[in-house]
Structure 1
């Protein structure tokens, strides 16, 4: 559906022996190494979400300035002015989240996991919300891959497909909520 340029394939290891000298990380620490990679990946996906959200906001603002309805720019409508102001604020919040998580990780703080989860969940949800709104602002042009007569393409339909997978990569957003709750309430809470 999305990320058409990404090659995804299975890797299968059967009867593979890895000598102890070639194992990464501490002995019996493979899970820790894998989880550390997920934290880094979540920060990256959070940043990607912010990038998609920013691109969608930029396209939406341009369209609000240039699309006219009822004899005035669509952007003259107070609803869209307030909505875009709110979204710009949310983008800055999402940007701060992934930057804080990256800073904690760069400083060697192993407890960056909840911040990485917050950055990933918030940034990717925002990307989806903003792309959906940008499509709404563009009308049928936003929904189309390309307008046949003019050749115009704003690539929002592609961004919408790509934004959705960001909510799934590096652990679905629902898992991120569990990670955050576990940190807030306690690791020993089950149920």
Structure 2
């Protein structure tokens, strides 16, 4: 399998509990990262280890209770290419209407454990931001990877995928979550 990006060193970092829907940190925009250094690198290490431990393909910092604009990913696209990396301070490009082809597929989230719902999203996405060292990056994705880029950027803007669902579908997703026990440690809401 082709891999785009650098695989993280998973010997560093610790698994952290994942915040779930209802936790205030998930429902407000995150702060812009202005310091690039050891603290950010340690956060990114923890995020990768936590994402892998929960069998996720992406993880935003607020999903482990840190209100900073950073997400990690290890996600395949629809062509079987594996994309691995981090985006700090991501901004999703506004797509030209001619380039917007919607893909309605099942979507899930580590912060809504066990729940899935069909959600239409563009099948192409471009995210601009910085890497862990503050260098500019542009990440482009198609298919499932495009969905991941949009989903993680949404997190950092204070939105969960269930916020984009109809009331009925959102209620169904929350019911699915309530009926299952997560396979990973979650941070209970007080």
TM-score, normalising length from structure 2?
0.26
Choose between structure 1 and 2: higher strand proportion.
2
Choose between structure 1 and 2: higher helix proportion.
1
TM-score, normalising length from structure 1?
0.26
Q: Higher Cα Rg: structure 1 or 2? A: 1
